[in-house]
Amino acid sequence: MKPVAAALLACLFATACAQTPPAGDAFAISEVAPGVYVHNGQVDDWLPSNGGDVANLGFVVGSRCVAVIDTGGTPEVGRRWHDAIRRVTPLPICWVIDTHAHPDHVLGNGAFAGEAGVRFVAAAHFDKALAAREPFFENALQRDFGIRLTHAELPYPTVGVDKTMELDLGGRTLLLQAWPTAHTDNDLTILDRKTRTLYTGDLLFVEHMPVVDGSLKGWLAVLPELAKTDAAVAVPGHGAVSHDWPAVLKAEQDYLNALLVETRAAIKSRMTLAQAVDRVGAAEAAHWKLADRFHRRNVTAAYAELEWED
């Protein structure tokens, strides 16, 4: 049977047909600095309509081996990502770095498990965070994407970063840094010292509305510290790569700050949560894509965090 005919036949029986990438789709990657690569996910929510390919992914090539930064939102995205990396370099993949335990960033981990000598690394709190939500991620994959993923097919990190760690790839080192609770309680950034490229994970959103899943106050406290990083190129977790560091942080900081100030004011004036989600931060929210999906959720999280503060 010809491949195309086989694919069409497979479509008749597969719920996942709609998300099958078009033939010849090479899973686009760009080299943003020498030896430093990025795949830009779509600026969208994690959905079957985009195949779960929404997070930015990266890899850095040393003289000895390669480090992969995040693995994509489904096992299939992970496989395509792995193949794309293999088209660039035959060097061994010695590290897979998970920036945080959200499904769009980590559910491709299994595609890298077969690499000889590979180790998975993440922030120290990552395992606990992923373990708590893994059943929900697997249910969502099955229900919405028609993809079955078992615990055995999702490798967890075996190396945890408490504060910082250096990885030597041969001829270049990566600085991994774990942060206090901000976007999540397990955010990790990666700095390639050689090119001063900073992979921020979801500590930085560009275009895509920031999503509060850790601590609003914590995130606002982390941003000025993150801004001190000596970076020339910033790869956000979502949205376009930026050469305007640290100025690129400002839009996110403004939004989060409006969320903090206006939620506090709402609580002080005894607004209910239902009233607050309709009113807080509306002007700032209008600047972001996906505000309809995430803004009310953010206000809810902010309200819960700030309700009983002094």
Residue 241 near residue 233, CB atoms below 8 Å:
yes
- C-alpha distance from residue 244 to each of 27, 30, 145, 255 (Å): 26, 18, 36, 18
| Residue 57 beta carbon to Zn ion: minimum distance, rounded to whole angstroms | 13
Which window, 97-105, 227-235, 239-247, 298-306, contacts Zn ion (CB under 5 A)?
97-105
At position 264, the amino acid (one-letter code) is R
Which window, 7-15, 68-76, 98-106, 112-120, contacts Zn ion (CB under 5 A)? 98-106
C-alpha distances (whole Å) from 200 to each of 18, 48, 90, 135, 288 are 31, 25, 26, 26, 19
**Which residues ranging from 18 to 57 are in contact with Zn ion (CB under 5 A)?**
none
Q: Strands 119-123, 93-97: parallel, antiparallel or unpaired by DSSP?
A: parallel
Q: Which residues contact 245 (CB under 8 A, 6 or more apart)?
A: 198, 229, 231, 232, 233, 234
252 near Zn ion, rule: CB under 5 A: no
- Per DSSP, 35 falls in state T
Piece of the chain touching Zn ion by CB under 5 A; list 77-85, 100-108, 241-249, 262-270: 100-108
Q: Are 186 and 101 in contact, with CB atoms under 8 Å apart? A: yes
CB of 100 to Zn ion, least distance (A): 6
Report the nearest approach of Zn ion to the CB of residue 90 (Å).
31
Would you say 7 or 124 has its CB closer to Zn ion?
124
CB of 150 to Zn ion, least distance (A): 23
Binding mask 102-121 for Zn ion (x = CB under 5 A): x-------------------
Q: What is the DSSP letter of 141?
A: I
| Near Zn ion by CB under 5 A: residue from 185, 202, 252, 284 | 202
For binding to Zn ion (CB under 5 A), which residues are involved?
102, 202
